[in-house]
Structure 1
């Protein structure tokens, strides 16, 4: 093989987002360790499936409007984002919401992402997804 081995920069199939306090940027932690969100990474089949579902939802909204392209409202964009993040979430670790304790699984994840009171989580998730370096294997980062 000649040249650089590009395989060393292939993304891992999943990653963990360490949640940070929105004001201090200190990692949040529970008694058992850091508060994290395990999720599928770009390049994984699960992520691709979630992107396809997001596209289908947008097309469905367009069809409901009679095929007329109108800008999505802020509420529609937020709902779409919450759906997408819930679709790529594997699980929450070391944090919980009493407000949504009656929910579980995807419904629980979606409720937290859709609630503007927890907007800092969505912002941090967006930042994580926007930087490919977050999905490199440990050896590739060095």
Structure 2
């Protein structure tokens, strides 16, 4: 009788353990990584000159004069239909990989410019490809910064 009761209690606690594992991995580990990778891309973009329109930041280290984007206004924050030149892919360790490769994280960015032409808004979104036991929205992070001319 006591052994049966212990078995029922253990089975109930096992379910809680699985939920805790999933939450810790998705919200603790994967969400933190998306924030880190979004911040890394933001720092790379903000290091460019305000008028830079031809530095390729989809590779590391960035290639000056190789195009296509630099801080040219464009891009989008859509991870399902990313704009070429405004997207890169990372493996599980945060290293750049090809679009069709075994990527675990996607980073997309959008650059907008005000009407006066002296202020750019840079937005970067990073999302994980898949979570642990994830049925809802995947962990993602968005960072936004402004860059003014002539800096």
TM-score (norm 1): 0.30
Choose between structure 1 and 2: higher helix proportion: 1
Choose between structure 1 and 2: higher strand proportion: 2
Larger radius of gyration: 2
**Which one has more relative contact order, counting CA pairs under 8 Å at least 6 apart?**
1
TM-score (norm 2): 0.29
